[in-house]
Amino acid sequence: GETIRLLSSSQVITSVVSVVKELIENSLDASATGIDIKLENYGFSKIEVRDNGSGIKVDDVPVMAIKHYTSKISSSEDLERLTTYGFRGEALGSICSISEVLVTTKTAADDFSIQYALDSNGHVTSKKPSHLGQGTTVTVLNLFKNLPVRKQFYSTSRKCKEELKKVQDLLTAYGIIKPDLRITLTHNKAVIWQKTRVSDHKMACMSVLGTAVMSSMVPFQHCCEYPEINLSGFLPKAESDNSLTSLSSSERSFIFINNRPVLQKEILKESVLLAVENVLKSLYGPLPAAVPGESNKTDVTSEDMFVHRTDQTDVAVNEMGPSGNDEL
């Protein structure tokens, strides 16, 4: 039992960045408008994600980190119109089995926040009142404590720095998709990355990427035969001068599927449609033949709303998420 649980957890949670991603998505699902991420020792000693979202109801606390518990789906109809990032109830439980987890939370109805300590099965072992405002703070200590090989893999300073860079890339991506979200990233007590609330996606890009990088990219939006799947993002201009920015072309590619960042920097302009077609084929079987000159084209415009917000997350994207690309 223990071994199987550890095995499945270590597939969901493979790195610091995957913990951060799961926690941020929970915060976004809880309608947070501000998220503060604090890392110590590149996240291996401590990862803390604090949000100002809805908080967790007292009744939900005992089950929140039990595998396959989710407060987000209650009927099969819900499954067909998913509007949240999470729905499998796997993340928090998985994180518990490979680290020490504290959850501090307060809803609008609560008088004060309570900090809960969870054991490796996701059960609450102790609780105490605390002083935080509305929202949830998840603290993850000693990640991979029981996975020495995984821990060893991240023991070099190069690996650690790469991991920190991936966290920043992830925040950059969420910063772009969520203009009205405030984010800070602190490492060993120093704020190393932040984004303020802005009014639209273009401003969000400016603020996280800077104007020089922005001017070397084009937004794209692609609607395919499957209306539930929306592909959007930013790609480097074909003729762009790399010397203008410190970022390479692949670092200037941001691809979102239904508002979820795809962390696969190798995907470049030419291969995007191919990559997506492959995903669709694997999920839905062969594509219907495209009608020439219709719908099967990519719209590249440099103005207006470039990131199409369907605010819909679907099963397909989740299925491709952690296992479908090596970065997560």
Minimal distance in Å, beta carbon 322 to ligand ADP? 12
Nearer to Mg ion, 25 or 36 (CB): 25
Can you tell me the distance from the alpha carbon of 34 to that of 316, in angstroms, rounded to the nearest whole number? 28
Q: Which does 175 bind (CB under 5 to 8 A by kind): ligand ADP, Mg ion, none?
A: none
Q: Looking at 55, 86, 179, 261, which residue binds Mg ion (CB under 5 A)? A: 86
Minimal distance in Å, beta carbon 201 to ligand ADP? 24
Task: Find the largest Cα–Cα distance for the chain.
Answer: 64
Is the torsion defined by CA of 146, 148, 153, 158 positive or negative? positive
Is the torsion defined by CA of 46, 52, 53, 55 positive or negative? positive
Q: Does the protein bind ligand ADP through residue 231 (CB under 6 A)?
A: no
Q: Which does 60 bind (CB under 5 to 8 A by kind): Mg ion, ligand ADP, none?
A: ligand ADP
Q: Does the protein bind ligand ADP through residue 101 (CB under 6 A)?
A: no
Minimal distance in Å, beta carbon 71 to ligand ADP? 3
Segments of 1-112 assigned E as strands: 34-40, 46-51, 100-106
Nearer to ligand ADP, 135 or 233 (CB): 135
Q: Which does 18 bind (CB under 5 to 8 A by kind): ligand ADP, Mg ion, none?
A: none
Q: Looking at 43, 86, 179, 321, which residue binds ligand ADP (CB under 6 A)? A: 86
The 10 Å Cβ neighbour count of residue 115 is: 17
Q: Which tokens go with 72?
A: 């987000």
Can you tell me the distance from the alpha carbon of 117 to that of 18, in angstroms, rounded to the nearest whole number? 21
| Rounded alpha-carbon distances, angstroms, from residue 131 to 62, 156, 184, 267 | 21, 37, 21, 45
Q: Does the protein bind Mg ion through residue 26 (CB under 5 A)?
A: yes
H-assigned helices in 81-195: 91-98, 148-153, 157-177
The residues of the shown chain that bind ligand ADP, judged by CB under 6 A, are 22, 26-27, 29-30, 51, 53-54, 56, 60, 64, 70-72, 86-93, 136
